Structure formats: structure tokens, C-alpha cells
């Protein structure tokens, strides 16, 4: 593996919480079956720029909830990814309720700041929350020509 690829891999591993123990890379403690810690946001996201292999820093996004009355989207929060591609405090504890939510990512603005042409001007991820006591993580893997999302843990 080239030194550049190894450095990107280490950065990604640190990003998701892996650590080195006795010369071995280990997942973060409690990675399996994590619950929601008191005071932590019940809804989180992080964005990885798969073209560079690094977190997508400085990507603007909006969180909205679909209201039953008239099927209108209500904006709950505007945010921007930090140096690690994350949005801390996306939804404060106690504000989550069952329903349909949408994360809208300004991918055009992100790629333009990097002097990169892209195919998708924005990405909208719509998802349903049925149990407001659970923690929900919505990662986005992003390149100028594609994106992938999934329900994380």
C-alpha cells in the first residue's frame, strides 16, 4: 500500500473511532450495540469524500421534518460539517419524534469550493423514525459523480 493510501486509511479509521492497541487497529470501545448517551444528539450524520478518502469538511446541510398538516417540510436545523465531516448537535435530545425526516446536503457548493465539477447539485436523504428512543446515524459517502447512504449505528 502506498504511503498516501495508508495515510488516508488511518485518517478514515480515526474518523470512525478506531484506535491502535498493541500494534493492532481496534474498533472503538462499545462500538457494537451503542445506545444513546445522555445529552448526545439522537440523530447524527457524517460525510466522507470518497474521491479524496477524507472527511467532507465544510459541507452545508439542512434537516427538515415532514408535517402531517398539508404534507409540508418544516426546517429544523441548518448546519455545516466540521473538520471530521460530522454535524454535532444536529437534533437536540428530546426534540426527536416519530415521523419522516430529510437531510439535504449542498453537494454543488461543496464541490465548487474545491474547483470540482459534479453531477448532483444536492443530495436529499429521506428517512422514517418510528422509535424516538433510538439513536439514528445517517452517513453519506460522496464523490463528484455518485453518492451512497445507509442507516449507520
Cell of 147: 453518492
Residue 22 pLDDT: 53
Q: What does each of the 153 residues of the chain score in pLDDT, given as a tens digit?
A: 566 655 655 655 555 555 555 554 544 444 433 344 445 788 999 999 999 999 999 999 999 999 987 789 999 999 999 999 999 788 887 888 999 999 999 999 999 999 999 999 999 999 999 988 888 999 999 999 999 999 988
Residue 75 pLDDT: 95
Closest CA to 101 of 18, 143, 58, 41: 41
pTM: 0.74
Closest CA to 99 of 69, 70, 119, 129: 129
- Binding-site residue ranges for substrate: 46, 86, 150
Structural domains in the chain plus CATH codes: 43-149 (2.60.40.180)
Residue 27 pLDDT: 47
Closest CA to 44 of 77, 91, 11: 91
Residue 139 pLDDT: 96
Cell of 22: 498493541
**Residue 134 near residue 36, CB atoms below 8 Å:** yes
Cell of 82: 466540521
- Binding-site residue ranges: 46, 86, 150
Q: Which residues pair with 78 in a beta bridge?
A: 62
Amino acid at each position: 500500500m502506498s504511503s498516501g493510501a495508508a495515510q488516508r486509511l488511518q485518517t478514515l479509521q480515526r474518523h470512525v473511532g478506531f484506535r491502535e492497541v498493541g500494534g493492532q487497529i481496534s474498533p472503538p470501545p462499545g462500538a457494537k450495540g451503542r445506545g444513546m448517551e445522555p445529552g448526545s444528539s439522537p440523530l447524527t450524520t457524517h460525510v466522507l469524500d470518497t474521491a479524496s478518502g477524507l472527511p467532507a469538511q465544510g459541507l452545508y446541510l439542512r434537516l427538515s421534518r415532514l408535517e402531517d398538516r398539508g404534507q409540508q417540510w418544516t426546517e429544523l436545523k441548518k448546519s455545516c460539517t466540521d473538520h471530521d465531516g460530522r454535524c454535532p448537535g444536529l437534533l437536540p435530545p428530546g426534540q426527536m419524534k416519530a415521523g419522516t425526516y430529510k437531510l439535504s446536503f449542498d453537494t454543488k457548493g461543496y464541490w465548487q469550493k474545491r474547483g470540482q465539477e459534479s453531477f448532483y447539485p444536492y443530495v436529499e436523504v429521506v428517512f422514517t423514525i418510528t422509535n424516538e428512543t433510538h439513536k439514528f446515524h445517517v452517513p453519506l459517502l460522496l464523490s463528484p459523480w455518485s453518492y451512497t447512504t445507509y442507516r449507520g449505528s
